[in-house]
Chain A
């Protein structure tokens, strides 16, 4: 079974803090993704990576950065957390760019910024 794990299920941070969300997959997938999920908006892509040290902006990258130093690990960084970044964050991985590849998701991290 593909396993995608995320470092925390629940996280509470203060405004202005630097926040790290980590994601690890064990299936040797090239592609990894970070989404945020908000009610009524579905999933919105923040960043994705198609190889080590490679990254591309998604639809809503502002306020976020990412790091992929190893193939199995993809980190999302909030440089200075703000209350509008309170959300559910989902990590996913998939095989190389193919229209037919499904994504495998982690359980999510619910982040609250106060």
Chain B
């Protein structure tokens, strides 16, 4: 079965410290993986995506993620958190099973303390 699990529902960091948001997936097919961000009362915005090219993917606003096939993980990181990073983050897996299928994780809410 295909699934995506975000391991933390909430993460709290201090401004200027590193951010790690964890995502594991399960897929029998070659997946594409995405991270989206949602600020309060806004729609989702694409941060970055992995599509079977380089395993380390750089996105907007200093975020990056590494695809690790052996660990079936796609964790999102940022070296130094900013107050404006406070938002909800969604890990998403997409694949073809003869039809198009996308699965969203439940989300991780990131809090950034001053």
Interface presence of A90 (CB below 8 A): yes
Find chain A residues with CB under 8 A from B90 CB: 42-43
| Interface residue? A103 (CB, 8 A) | yes
Interface residues on A, range: 20 to 34
Q: Is the CB of A102 within 8 A of B43?
A: no
- Is B51 a contact partner of A42 (Cβ separation < 8 A)? no
Known: A40-B106, A42-B90. A97 touches B42 (CB 8 A): no
Q: Enumerate B68-114 residues with CB–CB distance to A below 8 Å.
A: 90, 94-96, 99-100, 102, 104-107
Using Cβ atoms and an 8 Å threshold, which residues of chain B touch A9?
41
A106 touches B9 (CB 8 A): no
Contact with B along A24-38 (1 / 0, CB 8 A): 000000010001000
Residues of B within 8 A of A99 (CB): 30-32, 51, 94-96, 100
6 tightest Cβ-Cβ pairs between the two chains A and B = A105-B43, A100-B51, A42-B104, A43-B104, A97-B100, A105-B44
A-contacting residues of B (Cβ < 8 Å)? Answer: 9, 30-32, 34, 36, 41-46, 49, 51, 90, 94-96, 99-100, 102, 104-107
A-B contact pairs, 21 of them (CB 8 A): A40-B9, A40-B106, A43-B44, A43-B90, A44-B104, A90-B43, A90-B44, A92-B43, A92-B44, A97-B99, A98-B100, A99-B30, A99-B32, A99-B51, A99-B100, A100-B49, A101-B94, A103-B102, A105-B44, A107-B41, A108-B41
> Footprint of B on A, CB under 8 Å?
4, 9, 31, 35, 40-45, 90, 92, 97-108, 110
